[in-house]
Amino acid sequence: MSLSEHNENARSSATSGVFFALGAYGWWAIVTPVYFRILKDVPAFELLSWRVLTGLPVLLLLLMATRRLNEFTSILRDRRILLTLLLSALLLSVNWFTFVWAVITDNLVEASLGYYVNPLVSIVLGMFFLGERLRGFQIVAVLIAAIGVVVMGLSIGHPPWIALTLAVSFGFYGLLRKKVSAAPAPGLAIEMMIVFPLMLLLLFLVHVDDGVSAFAGPGWVTILLVLGGPQSIVPLLFFTGAAKRLKLSTVGVMQYLAPTGQLVLAVLVFDETFTTGALWSFILIWCAVLLYSIDSVRRSRREQFEISIPGEA
């Protein structure tokens, strides 16, 4: 293959990677919130339950179709990995439930704040649990983000628990998944399998408490509940395609499309309240995100430059 053909293939791969990333983050920004908003009269626990109960079969079918079911079964034989995935499954359930609850209770603005802050929380967790050293821009970004969270708390009169829960739960989830040798798709299937019995119990309790499940409601509600799992899997497939084709720094910058879309959707479509205090909080968070993104891009370029020079570490 000639150099020109190689460059052309690289550009084509990067272009398709961008479209995959736009599909993933666009889905998380628009489709997922709108889906739960339509079902806002359904209890959050029931929405979470159907998301898992219908998502696991879809994921297992995908693993079978891609001949990766052996990865799933090999994890089942490793107790150490299973224990770690048990903890990560609980964290993911907390994260998913919090987001669902935020959407159906008109708190998507605060939820978007949590996903802006999440990468910065991951930086702090990496420092404490992985011994990673913070660079100058990262320190400043974390401090500015912390001030932004405080401003949001002062604005709404209490700590932004939704944002903090989303950021911290997903931060610890990412930390655990980084420490375990399980690929994303098989690992997620195991996590769903672990909480599957709990989700069945929650549905049973909903039925006992209310006497009826939303699943027995209008036909369109039943259909949407069944689609809860697939609509969760689709963006993950898009994201996997993007991660394989794009630089990590590019994916890192594009991840902010999701909370940005959620914020715009919450204010302009869902008509959620956006106070002056919230605006100042987001301005601080955006400044922190900008610093973090600049640092990530500079770091990525520096590492590529060092790799391209023979004999340099």
Instruction: Name which of 44, 53, 92 is nearest 198 in CA terms.
Output: 53
Helix segments in the chain, DSSP class H: 3-26, 32-38, 44-65, 69-76, 79-104, 108-129, 136-156, 161-179, 184-210, 219-226, 228-245, 248-254, 257-264, 276-308
Distance CA 287, CA 284 (A): 5
C-alpha distances in Å from residue 175, one per residue of 18, 36, 82, 179, 226: 26, 27, 15, 6, 31
Distance CA 61, CA 174 (A): 25
Residue 29 tokens read as 């920004």
Q: CB–CB of 53/195 below 8 Å?
A: no
One digit per residue, pLDDT tens: the chain, 313 residues? 554 555 555 566 778 888 999 999 999 999 999 999 999 988 899 999 999 999 999 999 999 999 999 999 999 999 999 999 999 999 999 999 999 999 999 999 999 999 999 988 988 888 888 888 888 888 899 999 999 999 999 988 899 999 999 999 999 998 998 888 888 899 999 999 999 999 999 888 876 566 555 656 678 888 899 999 999 999 988 888 887 888 766 777 788 999 999 999 999 999 999 999 999 999 999 999 999 888 877 776 665 544 333 334 3
